[in-house]
Structure 1
Amino acid sequence: MLHNQNNTANIYIGLMSGTSLDGVDGVMVRLPDSVDAAADADTGMQIIATAYIPFDPDLRQQAMRLQQASDNELHHEALLANALASTYAACVKKLQACAPEHTVHAIGAHGQTIRHRPELGYTRQTNNPSLMAELTGIDVIADFRSRDVAAGGQGAPLVPAFHRAVFGRAGASSVVANIGGISNISVLAADGSTRGFDTGPGNVLMDAWVLQHQGKSYDANGDWAAQGAVIPTLLESLMDEAYLQMPPPKSTGRDLFHPAWLQGKLQGFEAASPVDVQATLCEFTALTLANDIARHAADAAHVYVCGGGALNHQLMQRLQTLLTTQSCAAVVSSTAVLGVAPEQVEALAFAWLAQRFCLRLPGNLPDVTGAAGGRILGALYPA
């Protein structure tokens, strides 16, 4: 658990913009001098400041365009990378303004995933960390996924090692479910082992559907989905996706789950009410999570949810109900009960990964990603 503790540990900033493409979350955190991924959860981390900067609509449109093949991609990606770097730097400045007395050792910046094809040997997170270092005057650690992919891994998810270090409890089994655009779970077993993988879509399809039909970027609290009724045959069609049956290690993203994929599944359902489709998409996300939790962590006592999905009350309720239906006794709650706001967890993870790089310690878990072994993740862009 994160808590206040005066120490002389290094201070890092973590930045995260995920598949929801809504903005960048930033956190300034004091970390201990040494953090072991298998250490006790009481790591002595202290959150100093947090910040959020929404994406400019033009930036979001640029990022969305690059999710699929298009003309002049290299040019458009370079422009997006510069715009992202400026936005990330603005978030850093906002954090520094909250705590000007602190000197930041390094920034961990994930970048924006625009392609993730580990089966072809690559993953692409666009960013311009050189520009970030220039704008902030701080060392930047970026490109965390590529080394794991080079070692034969999925390059994702990378957060289970952090989840184990911060949320793991000796002798207790629990799950951390990160529901962003895509959902992933970290299974923190009672014996100290850790597994994790992407379960499927999180908010990505729901966000696209509510934008199309209501002009909103997301379904606040899941209120719109709560007004609809699940369409069983559509749900069955959504669940008929080969990825969902694949064994881990595995990872996915917008390369698979995108509006065109959804439109293909909606053939034959043109007369369906949009609100019922939204209810079905919410059920789809909850069911994929519940199925994998029941399959891989049936003994879990708790499911701690982070990411934007933790703020979707309808999704949280459906996840709890579906787990109960599958005879899983886990109690679903957000990571806030552990002292960490759900929207801060991933940014914290990349601050933690930046420190792992600086200490020359592995940041991946081979049992999670399938890599040939532990690897130091990231690349340094000096100030």
Structure 2
Amino acid sequence: MQGKALRALGLMSGTSVDGVDVALIETGGEGVASFGPSLTVAYDDEVRRLIRGVFGAEQASAETAAAERAVTEAHAAAVRLWADRYAIPLASIDVVGFHGQTISHRPERRFTWQIGDGASLARTLGVRVVNDLRSADVAAGGQGAPLVPIYHAALVRTLPRPLAVLNIGGVANVTWVGEGDSLLAFDTGPGNGPIDDWCARRAGQRFDRNGSLAAAGKIDRTRLERFSEHRYFSQKPPKSLDRGDFTDSWAEGLSVVDGAATLTRATARAIALAARRFPHQVTQWIVCGGGARNPTLVQAIAAETRSEVVVASDLGWDGDALEAQAFAYLAVRSLRGLPLTFPGTTGAPRPMTGGRLHVP
């Protein structure tokens, strides 16, 4: 039975390294009683540089320690800014769910690393913090990702099934929700990561704003078909990716706009290939994450999947805050000893809880 609802603050920083999402919900760990305000606070360029400099690291070093300090301080600053803006005292928060920043994810070697010092954050904020939410799953042989599916299931309780919730960050992941909350979840392939990298290298901008570069370009169909043969797409789920597993290098030689168009269509193609793994076809796709703000990408997903595609905001969801809300939800589930991951979402051997609690 669901316990008393707690005020939980979720913090998320994805593989796109944009910044920190902060979001409040009230939940007992099953349904969601209410949604509070949210805020996104961009990383400054120095923090972004420190994080990018340790992508792929698997051993502690002076560089990973500096990046972890910067990440933890940026999260503390984001929480304070959120509390000031909405005049919400931190003493009224029961728990903070702190995802940290993934710098390396190699579940096939039972290794995943999210930098971020939970104990330091708890001391700084004076609030209980739950972090390290992936490690237990990975240690048991699961993929450790995606973690958000159980929250997706809580959000779609009143919608017709089966449906798919698609989260597009640096990597894209999908949650298929069937009758009776049956779940299947996995990373579909590249999300915004290769598109962002292409824009940074070739256009001097952090991302393709409104998909305008892609909209102006022509898709290289030959390269797209070759991309579709990537071995990842033939693997059965559960499966997950590291931010660096798909890059923009295969678009090299194309113009700026044609490369953007081709990479954007590739993200959509990977999503359509993922749908072949669903137990049943879905009635609709709900798109959230940064990719939901790219209309060219959303149109490409509709074309590739030949399905109805809506963005999370069409349903009244705060698509930008959804992952942060999910980590608030997972923190409460962790406190209550409820499972965070399942055989159908990460390939874990059994439903598993996780997370590490830090008390200020």
Alignment of 1:20-59 (within 5 A): 20-31=16-27, 34-36=28-30, 43-59=31-47
Query: 1:250 — aligned with what?
Result: 239
Which residue does the alignment assign to 2:358? 381
1:4 — aligned with what? none
**Are the aligned partners of 2:106 and 2:242 in contact in 1 as well (CA < 8 Å)?**
no
Give 1:362's match in structure 2, choosing from 339, 346, 360.
339
> Is 1:288 matched with 2:282?
no
Q: 1:149 corresponds to which residue?
A: 138
Residue 241 of structure 2 aligns to which amino acid in structure 1?
A: T
Q: Distance in 2 between matches of 1:279 and 1:146?
A: 36
Distance in 1 between residues matched to 2:209 and 2:280, nearest whole Å: 30
After superposition, where does 1:1-383 map in structure 2 within 5 Å? Answer: 9-31=5-27, 34-36=28-30, 43-68=31-56, 74-97=61-84, 98-100=86-88, 103-169=92-158, 172-258=161-247, 262-263=248-249, 265-266=250-251, 270=253, 272-296=254-278, 299-324=281-306, 330-383=307-360
User: Percent same amino acid among aligned pairs?
Assistant: 35
Question: Is the 8 Å Cα contact of residues 49 and 99 (structure 1) preserved in structure 2?
Answer: no
Supply the distance in 2 between the matched residues of 1:82 and 1:357 (Cα, whole angstroms): 25
Q: Could you tell me how far 1:45 is from its partner in structure 2?
A: 3.0
Cα separation, partners in 2 of 1:320 and 1:214, compared to 1, 3 Å? same
Contact 2:162 2:178 in 1 (8 A): yes
CA distance in structure 1 between the partners assigned to 2:207 and 2:141 by the alignment: 35
Give the Cα–Cα distance (whole angstroms) in 1 for the partners of residues 212 and 185 of structure 2.
Answer: 30
- Tell me which moved more, 224-233 or 369-378: 369-378
* TM-score, with structure 1 as normaliser: 0.89
User: After TM superposition, where is structure 1 displaced by more than 6 Å over at least 4 residues in a row?
Assistant: none
Alpha-carbon offset, residue 277 of structure 1: 1.0
Deviations 1:197-248 (A, max 9, x none): 0000000000000111121111011011000000011212322321121110
Change (3 A) 1:343 1:171: closer
Gaps of 5+ in 1: 1-6, 37-42, 325-329
Once the two structures are TM-superposed, the CA of residue 191 in structure 1 deviates from its matched residue by 4.2
Match of 1:3 in 2: none
Give the counterpart letter for 2:261 in structure 1: A
TM-score, length-scaled by structure 2: 0.94
Indicate the larger mover: 331-340 or 77-86: 331-340
Distance 2:79 2:62 in 1: 26
Going from structure 1 to structure 2, the CA distance change for 1:116 and 1:74 (only over 3 Å counts) comes to: same
* Structure 1 residue 100: Cα displacement: 2.2
Bigger shift: 220-229 or 364-373? 364-373
> Do the aligned residues in 2 keep the contact of 1:306 with 1:334 (CA within 8 Å)?
yes
How many aligned residue pairs are there? 356
Say what the alpha-carbon RMSD is for the aligned residues: 1.9
User: Which runs of no fewer than 5 residues in structure 2 stay unpaired?
Assistant: none
